[in-house]
Amino acid sequence: SAVYIGRSPIGYPIVIPMCSKKLFNLEASYSRRYPYILNVLFPNDCLIGVDIELETNMYNNSLNSLFTIKEIELAQLISPLALWSAKEALSKFIKTGLLASIDVFEIESIIYKNGYYEVLFKKFPSIICYVMEYHEIFIAICLQNNFVIENLNELVKMNLD
């Protein structure tokens, strides 16, 4: 057995294990914000984008210039950094990074559900982003909206404690 670890054509990490002469394509989405690293491996037919951010007032204040008027209104319900984390996770999901115009990542709505937020995007109605806050840490995970993560908050708390 062999494993190839490298970069995809657009620079994202990719892991390809070769087992029994079959090729399985795995990809990774990762984010780091000292002292934390968030990494998810997934098959390439089940895309995931992740982001992790730490709350700081200085960082929060500089984010307002990256939001639409509607998003600034939504930021009254949730930290601007949580909104930014959702946008970052989306950029990793669609594999553009933040190279695309910022309006591509526009947030349509935010719904609070059982300890986390569901974020929906204006231009990507088939993608959902779950944003969790744990102490001063925000974690965002974007998936196709027909996928469900069970015990989301418990998983995050277990790995941060």
Summarised one tens digit per residue, pLDDT across range 99-125 is: 888 889 999 999 988 788 999 999 999
Least trusted range by pLDDT, from 101-115, 125-139, 144-158:
144-158
Chain centroid to Cα 149, Å, comes to 14
User: Could you check whether the bond before residue 9 is cis, i.e. omega within 30 degrees of 0?
Assistant: no
Q: Based on the number of CB atoms within 10 Å of its own CB, is 53 exposed (0-12), middle (13-18) or buried (19 or more)?
A: buried
Taking the C-alpha atoms of residue 44 and residue 105, their distance in angstroms, rounded to an integer, is 22
18 or 38, greater pLDDT: 38
pLDDT at 160: 52
pLDDT at 28: 81
Of 95, 91, 75, the closest CA to residue 83 belongs to 75
Residues 79, 63: contact at Cβ < 8 Å? no
Residue 86 in this model has a pLDDT that exceeds 80? yes
Parallel/antiparallel/unpaired status of strands 116-121 and 26-33 = unpaired
**Residue pLDDT, tens place only, 19-78:** 544 556 778 888 888 888 888 878 777 888 999 998 876 555 666 678 888 888 888 888
Q: Who's near 23: CB < 8 A, 6+ residues apart?
A: 16
